[in-house]
A and B are shown apart, each in its own frame.
Chain A
């Protein structure tokens, strides 16, 4: 083996040997499910002669591309960036060059394979941007999000936002070649920036880059970015600061213990955390309402169809609305210890009762605000069409979100695990199935039944979780019993 090959092999080993963290394991599990699904679907279609062998091979190639994308974009690139510290970049001979070479080769391979398997070479620029954006995002660069959002919204942009003449130019052979060239040059530039060559800027930036990367992979990017001095974060913290001042203002030792318990979890467990998101959703809804009314005709109809279709996706915000409570609970163990020692904490039952009550109130308030905002945006975009169905989806998402709010925090610390997620998904599917069946049988539609079933299931789950939390050891500091 030549010296260069040995270096490539050593870098590959160092970057890929580490055990995958939680975010990657979840993505890997989803990839595995997708692979199994694709293989089973392919075999069934081949046996039924409804798919020809060429298409089946392309599908398998697509699955291989997905795994390569995961390995390269989610594992290799972020770890390679961590390896390229300012010291290593200057002092380790050839390491930076090798890292960039592997990263560039990986990007080209994954992009070409994915494009080839899609069967449309015109997709190359979009796929290239998407893959680059994904690795940049996992590498802790928020600019990567733009590279994900742009190609993901190409259908909307090409049909509604861009003038048809422009779309024609971009999708012509010359246009695709030019766009491909721009994307390749852009990727080269991004890779150079992702692997700086040392110096002051690199020294100053690397630690925060690695911290951002870890937060992103821990699924807490939004939570932390709010707390770490961004413009949006500063505005939210001002709200939070005002609320804290009011809650503390009753004089020494006279605060509301429940409110104080939640403050120990940080601003992400406060309603102000959601203010920016709720306002943003409303502003987007109002803007779309104005644009649809102003443009009229077929393009407005397309935009309306696209926007109302996208609202279903926004419901996932409800689904994730309580996830940050578990994260906050696991990130503030020291703060919780100090609270536990304060005279207002109360004994274990009282502490758990106060905390459970506050968590429940907080989660329900956020769910209600999110659901109302989503419904209001839907009315702004599409009127009352499909409102009952959307309300049902909001309730189902709310039931899933609430299933993880109360529990034995001292024992398991709360938060989502793969097992909990799968069980919640199965239960949600079951509820959806029952609601669909009941709607079909009674002729009343799916939405109203889903509302009734989801609310009922949530009530039963919450009652059991409430009792479990009250019987558990004091919740603060969380997860301490799992550690011992």
Chain B
């Protein structure tokens, strides 16, 4: 088995006295497309920044392409693409100036791809020569994505890349992501709150909670296997059910979230007064990150 492309072990990071990442372990294999989910303030951006070595760790280690993240070689850096959460970067430049600037920094720059994306995503000559600060939020975000894709990265990290895009822009981006990036075997990690997008492109999901990856798995199997068991407390065993993720009391009833339920859940389902429900991604998100 090949070594993971991204490896994070026992990663800790805190801001002042507040821990954000707390002994986080995470491995991402080559070619994996992972959606990172978590509530606002859960630390998704911090996790991605630590993954890229943009923040110093308070504990643990991160490696990318087998190299320690604080000592990445230029060759490795050239294989990484990053779309930060804040899209209005280099706002004093025009899109063409900004792309020329990055072209000068990356040896594997793909001008054909840049031209194609600019024209497909509506950047005409006028827009290409307008200051970035005068573009709309969606246009700035599309430009940031073009910049990150332009050097054909092998690892693409996207921090809420579609938050400012309208449905058309999101659809264009997802099509590009699937056709041009995922099909090429690029490893993709992206955080977003738009769950329908994740269902469309992410083969794997990871939920960040309390500074750790609370749940990770393939999207389909997570959704197929996720069940909510609602039962009177008296019927439930005190010990955790097989695959139990979370349990909480709701009046007289207890709700248990299980992933890949085992025989004990099947047995419970046959009891009177017990309901076992399938879950949507939104349900799963709410339950896991609560």
Assess whether A253 is in contact with B101, with CB atoms less than 8 Å apart: no
Assess whether B15 is in contact with A483, with CB atoms less than 8 Å apart: yes
Question: Given that A267-B92, A334-B86, A343-B75 are contacting pairs, would A484 and B55 also be in contact in the complex, using a CB cutoff of 8 Å?
Answer: yes
Assess whether A480 is in contact with B54, with CB atoms less than 8 Å apart: yes
Assess whether A248 is in contact with B101, with CB atoms less than 8 Å apart: yes
Chain A residues near B49: list those with CB within 8 A. Answer: 337
B112 at the interface (CB under 8 A from A): no
Query: Chain B residue with minimal CB distance to A252?
Result: B109
CB neighbors of B among A91-122 (8 A): none
Assess whether A342 is in contact with B70, with CB atoms less than 8 Å apart: no
A338 at the interface (CB under 8 A from B): yes
Query: Chain B residue with minimal CB distance to A249?
Result: B104
CB neighbors of B among A458-484 (8 A): 473, 477, 480-481, 483-484
Q: Give B112-131 as 1s and 0s: 1 = Cβ < 8 Å from A's Cβ atoms.
A: 00000000000000000001
CB neighbors of B among A429-484 (8 A): 473, 477, 480-481, 483-484
Number of A-B pairs, beta carbon distance below 8 Å: 98
A220 at the interface (CB under 8 A from B): no
Chain B residues near A343: list those with CB within 8 A. Answer: 74-75, 77-78, 105-107
Assess whether A342 is in contact with B15, with CB atoms less than 8 Å apart: no
Chain B residues near A347: list those with CB within 8 A. Answer: 71
Assess whether B70 is in contact with A341, with CB atoms less than 8 Å apart: no
Assess whether B108 is in contact with A335, with CB atoms less than 8 Å apart: no
A255 at the interface (CB under 8 A from B): yes
Binds B, one of A163-171, A237-245, A307-315: A237-245
Chain A residues near B15: list those with CB within 8 A. Answer: 483-484
Taking the closest CB of chain B, its distance from the CB of A253, in whole angstroms, is 3
Chain B residues near A334: list those with CB within 8 A. Answer: 84, 86, 89
A360 at the interface (CB under 8 A from B): no
- Please measure, in the bound complex, the distance between the C-alpha atom of A339 and the C-alpha atom of B54, giving whole angstroms: 11
CB contact between B92 and one of A227, A251, A340 (< 8 Å): that residue: A227
CB contact between A484 and one of B14, B78, B90 (< 8 Å): that residue: B14
Assess whether B90 is in contact with A344, with CB atoms less than 8 Å apart: no
B230 at the interface (CB under 8 A from A): no
Q: Give A329-352 as 1s and 0s: 1 = Cβ < 8 Å from B's Cβ atoms.
A: 000001101111111111110000
- Please measure, in the bound complex, the distance between the C-alpha atom of A462 and the C-alpha atom of B74, giving whole angstroms: 30
B80 at the interface (CB under 8 A from A): yes
Assess whether A248 is in contact with B100, with CB atoms less than 8 Å apart: yes
Assess whether A342 is in contact with B102, with CB atoms less than 8 Å apart: yes
Assess whether A338 is in contact with B82, with CB atoms less than 8 Å apart: yes
A254 at the interface (CB under 8 A from B): yes
Chain B residues near A260: list those with CB within 8 A. Answer: 101, 104-105
CB contact between A252 and one of B58, B77, B108 (< 8 Å): that residue: B108
CB contact between A473 and one of B56, B77, B106 (< 8 Å): that residue: B56
Chain B residues near A345: list those with CB within 8 A. Answer: 74, 77
Taking the closest CB of chain A, its distance from the CB of B136, in whole angstroms, is 15
CB neighbors of A among B80-106 (8 A): 80, 82, 84, 86, 89-90, 92-93, 97, 100-106
Contacts A244-B93, A252-B108, A253-B105 given; 16 further ones with Cβ under 8 A? A237-B92, A249-B104, A253-B106, A253-B107, A254-B104, A255-B104, A266-B92, A337-B54, A341-B52, A341-B80, A342-B102, A342-B106, A343-B78, A343-B105, A345-B74, A473-B56
A-B contact pairs, 30 of them (CB 8 A): A228-B133, A229-B131, A237-B92, A244-B93, A244-B101, A245-B97, A248-B101, A248-B103, A252-B107, A252-B108, A252-B109, A253-B78, A254-B104, A255-B105, A334-B84, A334-B89, A337-B49, A337-B82, A337-B84, A340-B54, A342-B102, A343-B74, A343-B105, A344-B74, A344-B105, A345-B74, A345-B77, A480-B55, A484-B14, A484-B58
Closest 8 CB pairs of A and B: A253-B107, A255-B104, A343-B74, A248-B104, A343-B78, A252-B109, A342-B105, A343-B77
